[in-house]
Amino acid sequence: MGKLQQFDITFTNNKVVYSPGESISGTVIIVTSASLQYKDIKVNCLGSCGVSNKMNDTSWTLEEQYFSSTLSLADKGILSPGEHSFPFQFLIPVAAPTSFEGPFGKLVYRARAVIDTPRFSKDYKAQRLFYLLNVLNLNQVPGIEQPSYAVTTKKFSYLLVKTGTLMLKASSDLRGYTPGQVIRLATEIHNKSGKDTGCVLASLIQKVTYKSKRAVYDLRTIAEVEGAGVKGGKHAEWREQIIVPPLPQSGLAGCSLINIDYFLQVSLKSPEVVVTLPIYIGNIALNLTPSQPMPSTTAPTSISSIGATPSAPPAEVDLEGELATGGSVSEEIPTKSHSQQGQSGHSPTTFPGSQNNPPELACSLTPRHDPSTALFCVSTGATIPFFTEGNTTPISTSCPLILPPEYSTWDYPHEPPPTYEESCSPNSSFNSSMP
């Protein structure tokens, strides 16, 4: 480094995570071995976001800036040999969004110091990143304490002959969670046909939208739970739990280039039936009052008995009418395996027998990898304080991952998810806009 032995930025109390409206202070430290002439010494504090259509590309297609403040620490002079310290302080705007880093874009904050030297001399630069957390308080989201429901139907057919109807219902106990909380999921399957269904799969999925010139939708399966199928003519219920790992908050309020959505997807492999439940991931948990008790861990006998919001019109067969008159007897669907996405962003970890091995034991068990399954791009930003180092790699998943509509443009969770036909139709306006 020649004359310059040390050029660094330190934050007060070594703090690296800040909140909007907070002051960020620190010191620029310069150590020289000989006299160093300068025209100016300054420090800049910047918050910005950039997105691209290419993975891990730093040549952003679109950028936006949240603030940029520059402070002059010293005007034209000579630094004598030894150590020099220059304190600084900036105020972070109250509307600045939370830090995030993904494969197609970044929302970053940094402090950069520059020693501007005379003409033909080398300028010196030092940089230090810091992270911002603009908390999402779930208590400020209307209707967040209410359960979320979805229901759809599927008609079996063989050689153009209808053989029966299947109804798939799913519900979550709440519509918003924080990392560490448990999502209680209840699923009900009415198989009024002569065919057995395939396995039932419940997935917690993160969808990150990068709004560049051509929008990029980045999907990541956070956790999967697999249950057994349902025999023909049977009515079965499945109750499971998914622990929410450390995840970036929904929405990224204040950022117009990156949006984060989360949803639960419950699907059958055969026949292909899917329902989706949009949920929020926040930073401050729901504070239920005594008049709003936490929903019971025991799911109702029939999800429809407490008013499910349909995501598709019911079939012609009145399944619930038959059940009310004592048609089918409900059975319990056994759970086959869990998989939990590791914080490192690599392949999910799986373990059989959810009753004996809860998700928190995922780290000590063997990862699952099936080369035949589809690969999807993995979002980073799933570690506190919402950043990761290095390149990202795809993960494998057995989930069909049908991309849901852009929920961020809706006033959800008030509105129900789309119908199954609307979600999957290749002619829909949403799917036609996919890259």
First to last CA, the chain: 47
**Torsions phi, psi for 232 (to 5 deg):** -60, 135
Residue 386, domain CATH:
2.60.40.640
Alpha-carbon span 337 to 333, nearest angstrom: 12
pLDDT in the model for residue 57: 85
Distance CA 116, CA 122 (A): 8
Task: Of 51-60, 296-305, 330-339, give the lowest mean pLDDT range.
Answer: 296-305
The domain containing residue 81 runs over which residues? 4-132
Same domain, 220 and 344: yes
Residue 134, pLDDT score: 92
Say whether both 182 and 245 belong to one domain. yes
Q: Are residues 124 and 146 in the same domain?
A: no
What total of structural domains would you count in the chain?
2
On whether both 172 and 300 belong to a single domain, the answer is: yes
User: 384 and 241, same structural domain?
Assistant: yes
pLDDT in tens, 142-154: 888 888 899 999 8
Q: Are residues 287 and 425 in the same domain?
A: yes
Rounded distance, CA 222 to CA 397, Å?
Answer: 10
Tell whether 42 and 70 lie within a shared domain.
yes
Q: Which of 218-222, 266-270, 414-418 has the lowest mean pLDDT?
A: 414-418
Q: What is the pLDDT of residue 420?
A: 41
Q: Nearest 5°: phi and psi at 304?
A: -70, -20
Q: Is the pLDDT of residue 102 over 80?
A: yes
Beta strands 36-51 and 105-116 are antiparallel
Is the pLDDT assigned to residue 299 strictly greater than 70? Answer: no
Residue listed under structure tokens 């956070």: 222
What percentage of the chain reaches a pLDDT higher than 90?
46
Contact in structure between 171 and 183 (CB atoms under 8 Å): no
Same domain? 217 vs 347: yes
Report CA dihedral (252, 256, 260, 265) to the nearest 10 degrees. 140
Residues 391-418 pLDDT 10s: 333 333 333 333 333 333 333 333 444 4
Q: Which tokens go with 393?
A: 């790699």
Does 263 share its domain with 296? Answer: yes
Domain match, 212 and 149 both = yes
> Does 207 share its domain with 287?
yes
Q: Are residues 208 and 329 in the same domain?
A: yes
Q: Which of 197-201, 251-255, 311-315, 366-370 has the lowest mean pLDDT?
A: 366-370
- Residue at a domain's end among 97, 132, 167: 132
Domain boundary among 72, 102, 132: 132
Which pLDDT belongs to residue 163?
Answer: 73
Closest CA to 39 of 72, 71, 6, 70: 72
2: alpha, beta or left, given left = phi > 0 and alpha = psi -120 to 50?
left
Domain end: 72, 99, 132, which one?
A: 132
**pLDDT tens-place string over residues 317-372:** 344 444 333 345 578 887 777 666 543 343 333 333 333 333 332 222 222 333 33
Q: CB–CB of 194/166 below 8 Å?
A: no
Q: What is the DSSP letter of 53?
A: S
pLDDT for the residue numbered 375: 27
Helix (H) or strand (E) holding 320: helix 319-324
Question: Between residues 271 and 328, which one has the greater pLDDT?
Answer: 271
Can you tell me which residue has the tokens 């959810």? 354
